[in-house]
Structure 1
Amino acid sequence: MSELHLEIEKLSGSEAKSLLLNILYRIEFLKKEEDSQSNIVQELLSLAEEVQQELHNEREFDSEKTAVHLICGESPAGSLRIGLSNENQIIGFPDFFAIGPFWKIHTDEGRKKRFEWLLDHINYEVDYIEEEYNSRIIKTLDQINTIPSSIPIILWTATNCDEQIALRYFLYLLREKKNDIYILNITEAFDQSKFDIRHSGEVASHQFKELYSTKSKMLITKEERVELENEWLLLSEKPEKLWIFENGTIQSVQEDYFDSSIIDLVQEIHNETGTIDFILTARVIGEMLSRYPHPIDHGFLEYRIRNLVIEGVFEIKGIPKSMRHYSVKLSLSK
């Protein structure tokens, strides 16, 4: 029973709701049947076995898979899954590593501190942090731990802060694995004169298929693995909350790094319209995302806009429960 409790604890909010709904449908069906009480009890026992088997299957590795692909983000993982054949196991890590503390997130204590910071600062919609974040992280870590030693692992990355940090973190998580590990850098694989790929999330499923079938994957040596694992350990000791990738290196910056750009953008929009009217926060964030050469987490930008409201730089109209629910303008008193 304790093992079953642990498996249920790993379910995300959406997974738990789906499972509960399925159980309730089955019970409602049984209520309409005119079977004997013993038959109903037997059916409920059968349902319980099905649920336990489904939870067991969630953590078991499919022995028919011939390669494992690890990529940063659930959306890129979905595109990769569509692009590759079924014998490839796809694992998408559900996090964005360029923001928030990642002090020792390879430990329970570090993951707890990161969760608490995200909960206190980042305003994701539909209660993602509260209901989904922890369970999805734990589930993904379990998937990584159950990778058998007999098949190759392909780490997809790109030349940006999020995925370069993730690459080092993934290699640290895989440090005990004896598998051959390959790295495929999407930014380097694409023809830069035709495509400007900032993040794996910008790659379509058919492009993933073409890259995997035509581009060479770099087999990482033991020495290279150790070097990148050690780089992760150094990064994971740092307390900073915001990171950028410049001149080929991962660099920490202050949390207010984007503030001046946000203020300048709002001023620019005021100048274009000729009035100091309220601007929907989603528009400000959209403009910032399109102008910056590297991917930024929209939740972090929204956090900084709220902070500028608190500091009196911006005036606010609406309730800041999401970037679609409030507008800002430059404060006339500043």
Structure 2
Amino acid sequence: MNENHQYSKQFTPQQAKTIVDQLFIQAERQDDEALGKITRSLLAADETYPQTIHIVFERAFAGALRHAFRKEPLKSTEQIISISDILSIGPVESLHTDEGIKNRFCWLQEHLRADIQEQEKEFRSAVQDIKSILPHLPIIFWAGNNAAEQTGLRFATYLLCGQPNEISEINSTKAYESLYRTAEHSEEIHILRSSELSPEQLLEFYAHYEPWNWNPARRAAIEQEGESLLYDGSYLRT
């Protein structure tokens, strides 16, 4: 992303190629449901908002990013999906299934002794939102160098397995260091969590920091790590 970014409804050549490839693949498989989803997405492209999906992994950070995008055109063109649960603690085994979600939130209720019904509802909604992302929309993950956000990133990537969306990543820790570290303050500039950033800083990131566009190898590796995560029987990730 750069300051000359245009909020256009036009597909990039790579997006167009990806969608056409998926159409041919689904047609060959005679997968009518998948083919219909892609076709409806194409037909609705001229009317579809948003233009970019942002997936984040902290409630406070989601609020800051929404504040950063509160004005037009970003208010209309950017959608934020937040997996706000702290996935570095508690069970994550089979978390992509209804049973896995139930097990996790029962464990959280038992050990945190808090009312987690609303948290579970938000989590289920976020999972469904990710699974429902239209195939032509690009996705940007925002995550810092900490276990909670990195676990969330891998889980979300697994949920997108098989989808043709372009995926990019903004590592908030690296972005902060890239934009603000100087020779005089090289040791002082360091953050771990995305929620440490202000809405003004996030706007600057989005304007001036180029997201890391994942290639197929990177995506496959993260998907595999996400799949392995769902077989993890431990209760702590570092």
Alignment of 1:55-204 (within 5 A): 63-84=48-69, 85-86=74-75, 87-124=77-114, 127=115, 129=116, 131-191=117-177, 193=186, 194-204=188-198
Aligned pairs, number: 179
SS class of match (2:101) = helix
Moved more, 173-182 or 232-241: 232-241
The CA deviation at 1:195 is 2.9
Alignment of 1:1-334 (within 5 A): 63-84=48-69, 85-86=74-75, 87-124=77-114, 127=115, 129=116, 131-191=117-177, 193=186, 194-244=188-238
Write the deviation string for residues 23-79 of structure 1: whole angstroms up to 9, x where unpaired.
Answer: xxxxxxxxxxxxxxxxxxxxxxxxxxxxxxxxxxxxxxx922110000002221110
Letter in 2 for 1:218: W
Percent of aligned pairs with the same residue?
Answer: 32
The CA deviation at 1:170 is 0.9
Quote the Cα distance in structure 1 between the aligned partners of 2:220 and 2:104. Answer: 25
Write the deviation string for residues 184-223 of structure 1: whole angstroms up to 9, x where unpaired.
Answer: 1011111253532111111111111111111111111122
Tell me if structure 1 keeps the 8 A contact 2:58–2:149: no
Quote the Cα distance in structure 1 between the aligned partners of 2:173 and 2:224. Answer: 24
SS class of match (2:108) = helix
Tell me if structure 1 keeps the 8 A contact 2:135–2:163: yes
Q: Which has the larger radius of gyration?
A: 1
Q: Considering only aligned residues, what root-mean-square deviation do their CA atoms show, in Å?
A: 1.5
Q: Say which structure, 1 or 2, has more relative contact order (CA 8 Å, 6+ apart).
A: 2
Tell me if structure 1 keeps the 8 A contact 2:57–2:82: yes
Tell me if structure 1 keeps the 8 A contact 2:167–2:214: yes
**TM-score for the superposition, normalised by structure 1:** 0.52
SS class of match (1:190) = helix
SS class of match (1:182) = strand
SS class of match (2:228) = helix
**TM-score for the superposition, normalised by structure 2:** 0.71
The CA deviation at 1:94 is 2.1
SS class of match (2:94) = coil
Could you list the structure 1 runs, at least 4 aligned residues long, displaced by more than 3 angstroms after superposition. none
Tell me if structure 1 keeps the 8 A contact 2:91–2:107: yes
